[in-house]
């Protein structure tokens, strides 16, 4: 069982601007219809009514990537987790506007949902612009660490893919070091262009767009579960 205090530390803030009436209505009506059940084991059939390839996004922000991928792959099921209320509202707006029926959301910690999925059940896991926790004394709070990565590895099926994006140079170096030491993931890069340019089928997130506007390099890592 994960310590709730440590889970809260991973999140940062969970509520920002007050919601407009139309946004509050999305939380009251659409969210319950597509929310991941709060308890019990999870599976593709339990969430979507039948077996299909499952994708899982950790910290989807305002949901641009999650909704973009779900729109691209209507026969796949997408689970997105994000504790930030205004971000969940953003994702709900995308779900409504794109008429997506293949998305399930959880407003809260991703790892608590991930651990309820069967081992080897996921085709893709996405971690885009995770909170950098730049100070060395906070590096244990980074999502790219043995605990979360062991769980991601367990839940990905062999051949499944873990995608990680960041514009933070410290996180980039950290991720290359931590991922490079693992035998259960193979880095799918043959040339620098493979991690310096956004691969196809990788919709841009809000954080990525902001990073680019500010002139930052963005790194795109794709790892295959061995
Ligand atoms: C820097 S933002 C990036 C958001 C989005 N991925 C993007 O690229 O625009 C990091 C996000 O991770 C979320 N987050 C942090 N810890 C989390 C956790 N344990 N489970 C789910 N989301 C988490 C935060 O709430 C925040 O929205």
Active site residue 51: no
Q: Catalytic one among 75, 97, 131, 194?
A: 131
Identify which of 203, 221, 209, 194 has the alpha carbon closest to the alpha carbon of residue 72.
Answer: 203
How many angstroms separate the alpha carbon of residue 118 from the centre of ligand 1?
23
User: Using one digit for the tens of pLDDT, what is the confidence trace for 145-199?
Assistant: 999 999 999 999 999 999 999 999 999 999 999 999 999 999 999 999 999 999 9
Q: How far apart are CA 91 and CA 73, in angstroms?
A: 16
> Looking at 2-16, 39-53, 108-122, 194-208, which range is the least confident one?
2-16
Question: At 205, is the pLDDT very low, low, confident or very high (cuts 50, 70, 90)?
Answer: very high
Radius of gyration of the chain (CA): 17
Q: With a 6 A CB cut-off, is 130 part of the ligand 1 pocket?
A: yes
Q: Which of 30, 29, 32, 54 is nearest to 42 (CA)?
A: 54
Q: What is the CATH number of domain 4-9+21-225?
A: 3.40.50.150
- Nearest CA among 83, 171, 179 for reference residue 131: 171
Closest by CA position to 86, among listed 63, 104, 62: 62
Q: CA 166, CA 168: separation in Å to the nearest integer?
A: 5
Which of 6, 7, 9, 11 to probe ligand 1 with, by most ligand atoms within 8 A of CB?
A: 11
């Amino acid at each position: 069982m994960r310590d709730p205090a440590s889970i809260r530390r991973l999140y940062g803030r969970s509520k920002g601007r007050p919601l407009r009436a139309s946004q509050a209505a999305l939380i009251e009506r659409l969210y319950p219809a597509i929310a991941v059940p709060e308890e019990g084991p999870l599976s593709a059939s339990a969430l979507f009514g039948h077996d299909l390839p499952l994708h899982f996004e950790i910290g989807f922000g305002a949901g641009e990537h999650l909704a973009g991928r779900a729109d691209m792959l209507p026969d796949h099921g997408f689970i997105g987790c994000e504790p930030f209320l205004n971000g969940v509202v953003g994702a709900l707006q995308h779900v409504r506007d794109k008429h997506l029926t293949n998305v399930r959301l959880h407003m809260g910690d991703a790892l608590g949902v991930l651990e309820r999925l069967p081992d080897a059940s996921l085709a893709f896991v996405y971690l885009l612009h995770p909170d950098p926790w730049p100070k060395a004394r906070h590096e244990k709070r980074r999502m790219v660490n043995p605990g979360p990565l062991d769980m991601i590895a367990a839940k990905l099926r062999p051949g499944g893919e873990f995608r990680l994006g960041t514009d933070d140079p410290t996180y980039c170096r950290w991720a290359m070091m931590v991922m490079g030491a693992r035998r259960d993931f193979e880095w799918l890069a043959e040339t620098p262009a493979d991690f310096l340019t956004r691969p196809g089928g990788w919709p841009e997130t809000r954080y990525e767009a902001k990073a680019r506007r500010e002139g930052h390099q963005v790194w795109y890592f794709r790892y295959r579960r061995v």
